[in-house]
Structure 1
Amino acid sequence: MGGERREIELKNDLEELERLGNWLTEWAEHESLNPKTLFQLNLVCDELVTNTILYGCTTDAAHTIWISLLADSETIELTIKDDGLAFDPFARPSPDVTLPLEEREIGGLGIHFVREVMDEAFYVREGSFNTICMKKTGWKSPQED
């Protein structure tokens, strides 16, 4: 377990998602992350970065998305920061997943997933930057204990 912060900068381009996935996989191997947690982190990052690119970067101007990871023996800290439009993804209530599909509102399931798999998740707007901070505990697989 390194305890070393790793960072990556992405452009507001959906093609960057492949690079992000490769970076996460490399980091997970370095940290001996269990496959389930890697899968969850991949989905969380994919959902939040995709939303940022599609809805937060509404002009053709270049934008940057910064992602950082830090893990210790108990907790993974994941931070996603961007210079897009101000938006708190956690301000909306979670969708009612007990309703039949045809009765549910469109959208919100990705953020619902983030809330479900991360132990902490919050949003702050600092100047012209959106920052989403998340923590996941208990990330080690049982055979690593």
Structure 2
Amino acid sequence: MSSEAAAKQGSFHHIIPGQIAEIESLTEALRGWSERHGIPARTVNSIILMLDELLTNVVMHGYGDYGDHDSGEIEVTVLPITNGVEVIIRDSAPAFDPFSIAEPDTTLDIDERDIGGLGVHFVRKMADSFAYRRDGDFNEVHFSKSFPS
């Protein structure tokens, strides 16, 4: 779906190169869209935190290190739903279900914990729903966030 078609439907659609430096442009565009569509700031802030974690993982682990000019793209769509939004992230990195990894043991002392996994754990706790699927050559992560009551 083109950005123009998405805008006509009231949704947000943005594609960025798979580079860390590009994530900020996406989040700024999302903030602008959210303000124009009356999305509560608290919901937007939560979405941006989750997106930052998931997109950073795609770049660093899916496309390798901090991304380079030959890495793939990342497509983000945000759809208004009843009392919230649904977020869809698509990338062409190798298949990886971020929700298949075991939850970290947060009861352990910081020195005893395995490195990594806290970001996905954070998303699991913040999102109202989440899912992963492999769609041909693409990873597709869906998560939703409700508006505060």
TM-score range, shorter chain: 0.7 to 0.9
Any conservation in 2 of the 1:11–1:65 contact (CA below 8 Å)? yes
Give the residue type in structure 1 aligned to 2:71.
A
Q: What are the residue-to-residue correspondences of 1:1-145 with 2, within 5 Å?
A: 4-58=10-64, 60=68, 61-137=70-146, 139=147, 141-142=148-149
Give the residue type in structure 1 aligned to 2:73.
T
Give the residue type in structure 2 aligned to 1:122.
A
Any conservation in 1 of the 2:47–2:145 contact (CA below 8 Å)? no
Secondary structure in 2 aligned to 1:90?
helix
Give the residue type in structure 2 aligned to 1:119.
D
Q: Deviation at 1:3? A: 6.4
Structure 1 window deviating more from structure 2 (52-61 vs 97-106): it is: 52-61
Any conservation in 2 of the 1:3–1:72 contact (CA below 8 Å)? no
Give the residue type in structure 1 aligned to 2:107.
T
Deviations 1:2-34 (A, max 9, x none): 962210001011110110120121122123222
The Cα RMSD (Å) is 1.8
Ranges of 4+ aligned residues in structure 1 off by more than 3 Å: none
In structure 2, what is the Cα distance between the partners aligned to 1:72 and 1:132? 17
TM-score, normalised relative to structure 1: 0.88
In structure 2, what is the Cα distance between the partners aligned to 1:96 and 1:42? 25
In structure 1, what is the Cα distance between the partners aligned to 2:29 and 2:124? 23
Seq. identity, %: 34
Q: Could you list the runs of 5+ residues in structure 2 that have no partner in the other structure?
A: 1-7
Q: Deviation at 1:40? A: 1.1
In structure 2, what is the Cα distance between the partners aligned to 1:62 and 1:105? 28
Query: How many aligned positions are there?
Result: 139
TM-score, normalised relative to structure 2: 0.85
In structure 1, what is the Cα distance between the partners aligned to 2:85 and 2:131? 15
Q: Could you list the runs of 5+ residues in structure 1 that have no partner in the other structure?
A: none
Any conservation in 1 of the 2:85–2:144 contact (CA below 8 Å)? yes
Any conservation in 2 of the 1:3–1:71 contact (CA below 8 Å)? no
